[in-house]
Amino acid sequence: KNEVEQSPQNLTAQEGEFITINCSYSVGISALHWLQQHPGGGIVSLFMLSSGKKKHGRLIATINIQEKHSSLHITASHPRDSAVYICAVAPPLFSGGYNKLIFGAGTRLAVHP
Amino acid sequence: DVKVTQSSRYLVKRTGEKVFLECVQDMDHENMFWYRQDPGLGLRLIYFSYDVKMKEKGDIPEGYSVSREKKERFSLILESASTNQTSMYLCASSSLGTTIGEEAFFGQGTRLTVV
């Protein structure tokens, strides 16, 4: 079983829909990251979370440390949101592995006009 | 605009060839990373370097080596390419003391096909 599981693997939505992507993890973490990968490969960081909730534009990320679960929400989705969304967790700082992120397999989102 | 640049977007190599993947960053970052990305598996760390001439193995170093002779350049070497090394390779960098995800400066990726 992977240490970081994302669901769904693939998601198709109509423009304007509210989208939720889920991430569950089974290890202790110091932080959780949401990344976006556009067609062509480039990856950009969306959020880094250690508790609570963060919002940036139409994107909202939440994390529940007790339940080891995070969600990424996209409000009023748009075709330009089409990408692969990747969840990754950073091990605890004391483990010395803070640079060794553990990645989920990604969720491929397609938003149609 | 800060950049992590990978030398090739697409490469096709023959089994047994020695393959060099080059990565250059212009942010004066100490940390540099090489990942491979395969469908259904997510990104997996091959090697990382936290200083010139320093390197540490990641989760899947077998069949690979790396070189960091200059701070801005981190090379991934496939000593004898095999078909199971067909993959997307991603380079990334971060400054010392920050996690890779916090800054997430990734290159565009190199899609390598070994035939």
Check residue B47 and give its pLDDT: 94
The dihedral sign for the CA sequence B101, A61, A105, B86: negative
Among B30, B99, B106, pick the best mutation site for testing chain A contact (most A Cβ within 10 A): B99
Residue given tokens 């540490």 in the structure block: B56
pLDDT tens for A53-98 read 999 999 999 999 999 999 999 999 999 999 999 999 887 766 555 4
Pick from B33, B41, B101: which is nearest to A90 by CB? B101
Tell me: pLDDT of A31 over 80. Answer: yes
Edge-to-edge strand ranges of the sheet holding B19-25: B4-6, B19-25, B73-78, B64-70
Average pLDDT on A2-9 reads 92
Residues of A in contact with B41 (CB under 8 A): 105
Q: What would the mean pLDDT of A5-10 be, rounded to a whole number?
A: 96
Residue reference for tokens 């940036």: A56
- 3-class SS shares of chain B: helix, strand, coil, % to 5: 5, 50, 40
Convert the pLDDT of each residue in B31-77 to its tens digit: 899 999 998 888 999 999 988 999 999 989 999 999 999 999 999 99
Closest CA to A71 of A97, A47, A92, A99: A47
Is a pLDDT exceeding 80 seen at residue B96?
Answer: no
Closest Cα partner for A60 from A69, A5, A52?
Answer: A52
Residues of B in contact with A9 (CB under 8 A): 40
**Chain B residues inside the 8 Å CB shell of A33:** 99, 101-102, 104
> How far does the CA of residue A78 sit from the closest CA of chain B (Å)?
23
Cis peptide bond N-terminal to B61, omega within 30: no
Q: Which residues, other chains included, contact B97 with Cβ-Cβ below 8 Å and sequence gap of 6+?
A: none
Which among B7, B95, B100, B108 is the top mutation candidate for probing chain A, defined by the most A β-carbons within 10 Å of its own β-carbon? B100
**Is residue A42's pLDDT more than 90?**
no
